[in-house]
Chain A
Amino acid sequence: MNDIVFELQDVKYSYQKKYPALCGIDMTIRQGEKIAIIGANGTGKSTLLHMLDGLVFPDQGRITAFGQELSEAALADEAAAWKFRSRVGFVFQSADIQLFCPSVREDIVFGPLQLGVAANEVARRLAEVARVLDVGHLLDRVPQQLSIGEKRRVAIASVLAIDPEVYIFDEPTAGLDPLTVRHIIDLVVQANRRGKTIITAIHDLHIVGELADTVYVFGKDKKLARSGPVEQVLSDRAFLEAQNLVHIHGHIHEGREHVHPHLAFERHA
């Protein structure tokens, strides 16, 4: 039982006590798992990830991380917070929010420096993540002035540099070109092979299979609609339609089945 990373029991959360975002979630996430959280917009995916990262806390119910209760009081202890932040890394949905330093270099070293990693080790990690994410030529640039793909790579680099045990990604591939998406998927898969726990919120069903073994589907009622092995959940087309995750318009391309989203008023070419 000591390989449990996160455990949630009937967790409820509302913003400003008025706008419900999570309405009774039970989950158990084990070390080394690769899981995806899928659901339409506004179903509470980001809120859940914020909670896993110890940024918001349940109004009701209980969440434990690494066997200890995760609460505001627990993280108020500096040593406990330091330990937790070193073990969990979060790539936010918006890279604009995540990157707040005057240069890419400072953004990448921000986490490890804050977490007390020695200077020479920080320098080593900087060189390494800059190579892996191909951002070496951007180190002196202002993050806000980069393209969206570059920003996303820098944001991921800034979390990789912390070298956490658990990676949390909030829609890491949204709005990126196919090559960058590929790059990010490979990175995630490799991290998982090295034993890292991967938690990804996503709504691009094409790549869920590569990013996860287990999926949790969040419904409009902000509860878990279903969870299970990825093939099993994704093969239930009727269920996915009901969850607003695919449009009825699926079709065959080069012998493989694809599902394309379509606007209701859009004419099909």
Chain B
Amino acid sequence: MTRVYNRRPDFIARSIMSAAAFVKEATLCEEHARYAGFLQSLDPRAKAITFLALLVTVAFLEQAALIGLVYCACLVLAWASKISPGYFLIRTWVFIPLFTLGIVIPAMFSFVTPGAALAAFDIWGVRFVITRPGFDGAVLLVARVAASVSLAVLLSLTTRHAELLKVLRIFGVPQVFVLTVTMCYRYLYLFATLVENIFTAIRSRVGVMPQRRAGRRVVAWNIANTWSRTTKISEEVYLAMLSRGYTGEPRLLAGFQLRLRDLVWALAVFVWCAGLLYLERR
């Protein structure tokens, strides 16, 4: 087998491994929530309410520039919370195309959004026209999604999951729902772990990713099997939680505590949201 043959499958294996490591890190390690940064120091209830207010505000804003302000605030908050800018940008921009690509690109063109032409080009004799309203709409959508995703990522990076779940309960979200979210989290983590283990096992037995047909069958079988194995393990994890008295009600060692800084923060955010909405209306 030549190198050229091996390179591509190995690249795929490596990408899958790093994706799995990313999911694991994101669902369990809560590394960023332990840093001593600004958002980490706030009471989770105050944080959750203010982020909700910001999300709602973003949904109401129609001017891309105002949404841009919120996005810039996110970058500042990330910096103040000791999240490295590179990491934060990757974390957010990985998701943004997921929500926008399929909508934004078609919507820019004249056959979806009519209006004055901004740019035009030909492909195989078909004329494509990007319209002014189409372009503006696309910018607005991307800005809105970017700001919303950034807010969500900021909140989840700087708050421990047990605390977030507890906040959900405080805000009256039913126990069953919190339990489901909890188990989904565990499921994702277990799934990522299993994928990692399988690829390590295959590589340790075969060296590189197998080329021959038999080898590919092993991989396919393993991938299909990963779902059912994960389900089985997550059922066992659920039993382990049950065994130690779990009922779906998150409980924390240290209770929440509202301090002056939380109130000041909340007030500042509400004033800011009101200001943005005022500018929007004007």
Q: Name A's B-contacting residues (CB within 8 A).
A: 50, 53, 55, 78, 81-82, 85-86, 89-90, 92, 94, 97-98, 100-103, 105-106, 109-111, 113-115, 119, 122-123, 140, 142, 144, 158-159, 162
B244 touches A144 (CB 8 A): no
- Interface on chain A toward B: helix, strand, loop, or mixed SS? helix
Residues from chain B with a CB closer than 8 A to the CB of A162 are: 244-245
CA distance A160 to B175 in the complex (A): 27
B241 touches A85 (CB 8 A): no
**B interface residues, tally (CB under 8 Å):** 27
B186 touches A50 (CB 8 A): no
Closest B residue by C-beta to A159: B244
B251 touches A102 (CB 8 A): no
B160 touches A85 (CB 8 A): no
Whether A144 contacts B240 in the complex (CB less than 8 A), given A97-B233, A113-B252, A123-B253, comes out as no
Whether A102 contacts B244 in the complex (CB less than 8 A), given A114-B251, A119-B253, comes out as no
Whether A114 contacts B246 in the complex (CB less than 8 A), given A50-B239, A97-B240, A100-B241, comes out as yes
Whether A102 contacts B245 in the complex (CB less than 8 A), given A97-B237, A97-B240, A142-B28, comes out as no
Q: Which of B175-222 contact A (CB under 8 A)?
A: 186, 193
| Closest Cβ–Cβ distance, residue B108 to chain A (whole Å) | 43
Residues from chain A with a CB closer than 8 A to the CB of B233 are: 97
| Closest Cβ–Cβ distance, residue A35 to chain B (whole Å) | 19
**Count, A-B residue pairs, CB within 8 A:** 72
A78 touches B247 (CB 8 A): yes
A-B contact pairs, 29 of them (CB 8 A): A50-B239, A55-B243, A78-B247, A81-B245, A82-B245, A85-B242, A85-B243, A85-B244, A89-B243, A89-B244, A92-B236, A92-B240, A97-B236, A97-B237, A100-B186, A100-B237, A102-B161, A106-B253, A109-B253, A110-B241, A110-B246, A111-B244, A114-B244, A114-B247, A119-B253, A122-B253, A140-B34, A158-B244, A162-B245
Residues from chain A with a CB closer than 8 A to the CB of B236 are: 92, 94, 97
B239 touches A113 (CB 8 A): no
| Closest Cβ–Cβ distance, residue B51 to chain A (whole Å) | 21
B245 touches A114 (CB 8 A): yes
CA distance A122 to B243 in the complex (A): 18
